[in-house]
Amino acid sequence: MVAADLDGTLLPLLLDGSQGLTPLTVSVVRTLTESGVRTILVTGRMFSSAARFAGELGLTGPVAAYQGALIRDVATGRLLHHDPLPLALGLEVLEFIEPDALAVNLYIEDELCVEKRTEAVDRYELLSGMKANVVGRLLDHLDRPTTKMGISGPPPALDDLQARLRAHFGARLIAVKTWPFFLEITNPTATKARALQVLGRLLGFEARDVLAFGDSYNDADMLAWAGTGVAMAGAPPEVIMAADAVCESVEEDGFARYLMRQPWFPAQPPQN
């Protein structure tokens, strides 16, 4: 079983929204599927955003989205797992961060909710391919658990906020930067490794069966948990330390080329 992150692993980190899957990546994943090797996307993206790429790869099974907080089947739309931030905790976090006056995303039932339209919101829409719903003050809007919370801002401000969130909330949540300008908050049990454990129970695989690929801090637990974890070239040192191997960068089709080098890979797809 192959588990793959999207941004920075299968998709280049481009800020203009032009990132896309290469023909080689699509060919390799389709070759795996035809040979009976399952590929599962495990991403921080919203499910709707990730599902588009799953379709391009020919994948029809589950996608683990929102850092593993939500798992939904692409073909049927069936919800397989949901591990959101509890409502009371979500409200407490919003109250804590409101004085920072940063752009906050709430993800409720796979819809993106924001207080107002800002440059950060425009950029997020461009990157994700999703449209935001402007709902006004988020503390007044949130009335149910939010799958994930995202905060945009200058990198130094987010570094400071991340430290304060960890100090104040401790093990009650996970606060991790997935881009230099984007901080994500999830339930502490909503991780990529946990999502794969849930899927393993449903689909009948164990950690030793999994070959996982990732590039960022939110991938480290998945790479450490998998039987074989592969970090993309250029990943932070902490991520590389969690992995068993390093492949070429996403710009060099590292994911596809690593798989093609494996003696068990069933065929050599065209590389043009």
CATH code for residues 87-186: 3.30.1240.10
Collapsing DSSP states into helix, strand and coil, what is residue 127?
helix
At 153, the amino acid letter reads G
pLDDT per position as a tens digit, 222-245 = 999 999 999 999 999 999 999 999
Strand duo 103-108 + 79-82: pairing: unpaired
pLDDT tens for the chain, residues 1 to 272:
999 999 999 999 776 667 799 999 999 999 999 999 999 999 999 999 999 999 999 999 999 999 999 999 999 999 999 999 999 999 999 999 999 999 999 999 999 999 999 888 888 888 888 899 999 999 999 999 999 999 999 999 999 999 999 999 999 999 998 888 889 999 999 999 999 999 999 999 999 999 999 999 999 999 999 999 999 999 999 999 999 999 999 999 999 999 999 999 986 544 54
pTM: 0.91
> With the C-alpha atoms ordered 34, 257, 3, 50, is the resulting torsion angle positive or negative?
negative
Cβ neighbours for 232, distance < 8 A, ≥ 6 positions apart: 8, 9, 213, 214, 215, 246, 247, 248, 249, 250, 254, 255
List Cβ<8 Å contacts ≥24 apart for 241-244: 243/214
Q: Are 256 and 11 in contact (CB under 8 A)?
A: no
- Report in angstroms the alpha-carbon separations of 240 from 39, 195, 216: 22, 21, 9
Q: Are 87 and 175 in contact (CB under 8 A)?
A: no
- Separation CA 154–CA 43 (nearest Å): 23
Structure tokens at 218: 């939110």
If residue 40 lies in a helix (H) or strand (E), which one and from where to where?
strand 39-41
Q: Where are the domains of the chain?
A: 2-82+190-261, 87-186
DSSP letter at 86 equals P
Strand duo 211-214 + 2-4: pairing: parallel
pLDDT on residue 266: 86
List Cβ<8 Å contacts ≥24 apart for 234-241: 235/8, 239/214, 239/215
Q: Does domain 2-82+190-261 have CATH number 3.40.50.1000?
A: yes
pLDDT on residue 17: 65
